[in-house]
Every structure is written in structure tokens, then in C-alpha cells.
Amino acid sequence: MMFENGANALTIAQAYDLPKMAIYRWVKEDPEKERKVEEYRHMRADGSADSVAQKCDRLEEVFEQQISEGKPNPALGNLIFQMRTWDAKTGNPDRYGEKRKLEVTQETRVQHVQQLRDLNKRKIRDITPKKKQLKNNEE
């Protein structure tokens, strides 16, 4: 499988002259294959993140050289900052990622009423036992 070597669906589709969606359908047919592809995607993402970190390290060396020469490039400094920020956000989203906010737009009462209405739509079978008829001499 080409996914093992870091290829994405588009690359594979182009290599075999297939539509990209055919690759996705082929993967979805087999849960084990789908699990493996997802695992390879995670590994590729980790590799990409490592590559970004390495490139950022090299850019920092260049930037430090520019600073020592008295000619720092502000755009390079900004790029390094953005790369480090991205790395921190993706590496530890709970601490450095975007703050998430959950907003509830419905009251609980409205949901409760809707659930009761849904229950009333179902046919309810009466399971109440019938009254026992007493015979005349049992009174």
C-alpha cells in the first residue's frame, strides 16, 4: 500500500490514473484498511511537524546570523514566530491552542417538551389488567 510510504490519496490516484474518490471508496470498504490509512496519516502528520521544526531551527540560525551582522530580516523573524506558534498550538492544543467556547442555544425545558412530544407520537399499548368480574355468589 502506498499510504505506508507517506503518499496521499491524490498522489496514489495520479500514479494509477484513477479518480481520487475511488481511492477513498476503496479504503472505506475495509475497516482494517481504513484504520491503517488513518494511522499512516497520523504518522505523516508527525513527520511533517518534525520537518517544520527542523526547518524552523535552520531559519533561526540564519536569523541569528543576520542579527549578528546587524541586518535582521523582520519577515524572517515573523515567519519563525509563526512557525513556532503553530508548532506549540498543534503540539499542545490544550495549553497553546485556540480557546474553545461551548454555547448552548436551547433551554432544557424546550428539549424536554420536544422529547415528550416525540414520546406521544409512538403508539402506546395499554397493558393495564382488566378488572376482574365477581360472580354473584362471591359478593
* Close Cβ partners of 33 (under 8 Å, ≥ 6 residues apart): 1, 26, 27
Q: How confident is the model at residue 108 (pLDDT cuts 50, 70, 90)?
A: confident
- Rounded to whole angstroms, the Cα distance separating 106 from 114 reads 11
- Rounded to whole angstroms, the Cα distance separating 95 from 87 reads 12
Cα–Cα nearest to 62, from 39, 44, 80, 43: 80
Domain ranges of the chain: 2-98
Question: Could you report the per-residue pLDDT of 34-81, keeping only the tens digit for each?
Answer: 888 888 888 888 888 889 999 999 999 999 999 999 999 999 999 999
